[in-house]
């Protein structure tokens, strides 16, 4: 186990735990980015539109794993959702997240 994993836990394990509870993957990249490749079955709400969709996301009644290109926008999205009472985690970059979901 790496140094950061020992401090913060294993992200793959956390992703798998969320997945086992029916988590929704929420991609917050732009439409063009999403259209160029995305996790199958993921929901797409670009970060600038997220605040207007929080009530809709709450109705999913599921944990949410956010993702984007590198993890920066998804971290912001996760913070917004957490602040609004949605159980969420930052999955980071979508491609790496897709590997963790296998």
Q: Which domains does the chain have, with CATH numbers?
A: 15-101 (3.40.250.10)
**pLDDT surpassing 90 at residue 58:** yes
pLDDT given for residue 13 in this prediction: 87
In this structure, are strands 88-93 and 43-44 parallel, antiparallel, or unpaired? unpaired
Residue 71 has pLDDT above 60, yes or no: yes
Tell me the pTM. 0.89
Q: What pLDDT score was predicted for residue 9?
A: 57
Average pLDDT over residues 50-58: 98
Q: What is the pLDDT of residue 102?
A: 82
Whole-number pLDDT of residue 5: 41
Q: State residue 10's pLDDT score.
A: 75
Backbone angles phi, psi at 69, to 5 degrees: -85, -45
């Amino acid at each position: 186990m790496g140094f950061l994993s020992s401090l913060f836990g294993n992200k793959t394990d956390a992703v798998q735990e969320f997945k086992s509870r029916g988590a929704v993957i929420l991609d917050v990249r732009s439409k063009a980015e999403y259209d160029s490749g995305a996790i199958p079955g993921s929901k797409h709400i670009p970060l600038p539109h997220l605040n207007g969709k929080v009530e809709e996301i709450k109705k999913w009644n599921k944990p949410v794993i956010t993702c984007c290109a590198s993890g920066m926008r998804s971290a912001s999205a996760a913070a917004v959702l957490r602040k609004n009472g949605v159980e969420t985690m930052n999955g980071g970059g979508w491609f790496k997240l897709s590997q963790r979901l296998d």
